[in-house]
């Protein structure tokens, strides 16, 4: 188990993040279906979130909508 302590937790997670990022972009490059769906959802969610911040919603309604967007049950 000595090997595991070579990295700090922070470094390990950063490496995991980098790894997942690379794997995901590599997959999206070869998988049109995922790329379309992922890109679509990402841009839609980003657009909605941005707009939600620009309009004046009651805080609890805003957070409920944001939670719904994350896929949680409202």
Give the separation between CA 67 and CA 74, rounded to whole angstroms: 7
Binding mask 38-67 for Zn ion (x = CB under 5 A): ------------------------------
Tokens of residue 30, six digits: 């070869």
Residue 31 lies near Zn ion (rule: CB under 5 A): yes
Q: Applying CB under 5 A, which of residues 12, 26, 34, 44 lies at the interface with Zn ion? A: 34
Pick between residue 33 and residue 58 the one whose CB is nearest to Zn ion.
Answer: 33
- Contact range with Zn ion by CB under 5 A, out of 8-16, 23-31, 49-57, 63-71: 23-31
- With tokens 């609890």, the residue in question is 60
CB 50 within 8 A of CB 67: no
- With tokens 């841009």, the residue in question is 43
Give the separation between CA 23 and CA 14, rounded to whole angstroms: 14
Which residues contact Zn ion (rule: CB under 5 A)?
Answer: 31, 34
């Amino acid at each position: 188990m000595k090997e595991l302590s070579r990295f700090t937790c922070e470094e390990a997670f950063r490496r995991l993040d980098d790894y997942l990022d690379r794997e995901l972009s590599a997959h999206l490059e070869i998988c049109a279906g995922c790329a379309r769906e992922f890109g679509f959802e990402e841009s839609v969610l980003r657009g909605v979130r941005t707009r939600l911040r620009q309009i004046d919603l009651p805080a609890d309604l805003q957070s409920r909508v944001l939670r719904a967007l994350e896929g949680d049950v409202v």
